[in-house]
Amino acid sequence: MTSILETKNVVYSYGDGTEALKDVSISLEEGKKIALVGPNGAGKSTLMLMFNGILRPTSGDVLFRGLPLRYDSAYLRKIRRKVGMVFQNSDDQLFAPTVYQDVAFGPVNLGFSVEKAKKYVGYALQYVGLSGYERRPPHHLSGGEKKRVAIAGILAMEPEVIILDEPTSNLDPASSEEIMDMLDELNCGGKTMIISTHDVDLAYRWADEVILMENGGVLRRGTGSEVFGDAELIKRARLKLPIVVDLYKELVNRGLLSDSRPPRNILELTDFMESRNRGMISRVAFGTIHICNVDGEDSEDIKSILEKSHVSYTGAMGTNAKVLAEQAKIPLDFTYGVIDKCILKALAGKTSLIMTSGGMVDHSVKRIRTYCEDSGAKIEVVKLSSLVESSVNSDRQEMWSQKNSTKPIEAVQ
């Protein structure tokens, strides 16, 4: 893995001499989901503002792809295009009087022609699920929509790294989860994501790497389990344990689980419990997970697939799938953490459908297969579309069968 952003002995002090950052040296890997966590005033936002050259370190270096940042305006424009930043308060970021003008701000300033800018804006708004909002003024949008527009404004400049300062603050739970799901989707598309947050549950569940900051320095970095497994450290940083870890620790204390690595999520926790009780994950019958690629499908196709496949639960992953589900008036049971939820349902013997698109299809299949290999569960994965059905057996045999059939669904039943 190559490091995309790096800080070397970065110190930053304000005019009055208070040090906001004290000798921070970290390197961030390309394509990862990284969460900066820490209490108020730990220096998270200051560090983030270093990454695209808005703040200049008092001493030390910030490196992008191994090269130190320069602070002349030509270079800054280049780095700010590659490293996009979404501010905590959307009203700070959305300064143009209409959504279109705001999203077009970056492309226009990069010197794109009107047509090209229009194309990029259209693409970005479609990605965040806000096509048709072009002429709305920002003060007519909800908090979640404002955040989406802010993200679209960054996406329109095609950054390699996206930094989000407290992306879920001031959002209701459903909006936060949808934003986080979108960040997953972006990461799936190859973008490096960096967020800062106080929300330990969110950081624990979402991030590949957690950087724990306190008082201007890095206290610990590692996977979620490594950082949040250390209760003392978390207490020192004025945070609390994620609820899954807290529950796990108490179960260990009662002797119900053996002490090893804390589980990452509810799925893992329930698996720990089950394998402790029964020795392994086994069932008379597992549920099936259908995965439907919505690319190129219209709402009628989706409806007919849904009618024929007799699923008990439906989930949508990614903006495209959600927009389509809304158009087709399909009630969704899951809109976030969809894969885990569907695995949980399959373990309970229920059949479910995941609607998603593009690279997320293979990502889902891979995720379910990895789970099955690790746990020994046998969950059948069926890829659906209106034309082609392929069944992906998650057994060791790794049987990929692809049948062209005009009536694909009957074969499954």
Footprint of other proteins on this chain (CB under 8 A)?
Answer: 52, 54, 76-77, 80-81, 84-85, 87, 89, 91-98, 100-101, 104-106, 108-111, 114, 117-118, 134-140, 153-154, 157
Q: How near is the Cβ of 315 to other proteins at its closest, in Å?
A: 34
Contact 145, 133 (CB under 8 A): yes
Q: How near is the Cβ of 121 to other proteins at its closest, in Å?
A: 9
Alpha helices in 167-310 (DSSP H): 173-188, 200-206, 224-228, 231-236, 243-253, 266-278, 299-309
Q: Which is nearer to other proteins, 157 or 342 (CB)?
A: 157
Q: How near is the Cβ of 403 to other proteins at its closest, in Å?
A: 47
Q: Which is nearer to other proteins, 75 or 266 (CB)?
A: 75
At CB < 8 A and 24+ separation, what contacts does 174-177 make? 174/335, 175/142, 175/143, 175/144, 175/147, 176/202, 177/335, 177/336, 177/337
**Cα-based angle 64, 65, 66 (whole degrees, multiple of 5):** 90
Q: Which is nearer to other proteins, 80 or 290 (CB)?
A: 80
Bridge partners, 27 (sequence order): 6
Q: How near is the Cβ of 164 to other proteins at its closest, in Å?
A: 12
Q: Which is nearer to other proteins, 76 or 266 (CB)?
A: 76
The neighbour count for residue 245, using CB atoms within 10 Å, is 23
Q: How near is the Cβ of 130 to other proteins at its closest, in Å?
A: 15
Contact 194, 29 (CB under 8 A): no
The neighbour count for residue 31, using CB atoms within 10 Å, is 17
Q: Which is nearer to other proteins, 93 or 364 (CB)?
A: 93
Q: Which is nearer to other proteins, 105 or 336 (CB)?
A: 105
Q: How near is the Cβ of 179 to other proteins at its closest, in Å?
A: 19
Give DSSP secondary structure letters for 238-258.
T----HHHHHHHHHHHTTSS-
Q: Which is nearer to other proteins, 16 or 232 (CB)?
A: 16
Q: How near is the Cβ of 188 to other proteins at its closest, in Å?
A: 24
Q: How near is the Cβ of 413 to other proteins at its closest, in Å?
A: 48
CA torsion 148-153-157-160 (nearest 10°) is -40
Q: Which is nearer to other proteins, 100 or 286 (CB)?
A: 100
Cα 380 to Cα 286: distance, rounded to the nearest angstrom: 8
Contact 213, 38 (CB under 8 A): yes
> Dihedral of CA 276/278/279/284: which sign?
negative
Q: Which is nearer to other proteins, 110 or 273 (CB)?
A: 110
Q: Whose structure tokens read 């049987």? A: 399
Q: Which is nearer to other proteins, 117 or 360 (CB)?
A: 117
Q: How near is the Cβ of 139 to other proteins at its closest, in Å?
A: 4
The count of C-alpha atoms lying within 13 angstroms of the C-alpha of 182, restricted to the half-sphere facing its C-beta, is: 30
Q: How near is the Cβ of 32 to other proteins at its closest, in Å?
A: 22
Contact 234, 243 (CB under 8 A): no
Looking at residue 286, the DSSP 8-state letter turns out to be P
Contact 365, 384 (CB under 8 A): no
Token pair, residue 62, equals 């910030």
Q: How near is the Cβ of 311 to other proteins at its closest, in Å?
A: 39
Q: Which is nearer to other proteins, 103 or 317 (CB)?
A: 103
Cα 322 to Cα 129: distance, rounded to the nearest angstrom: 8
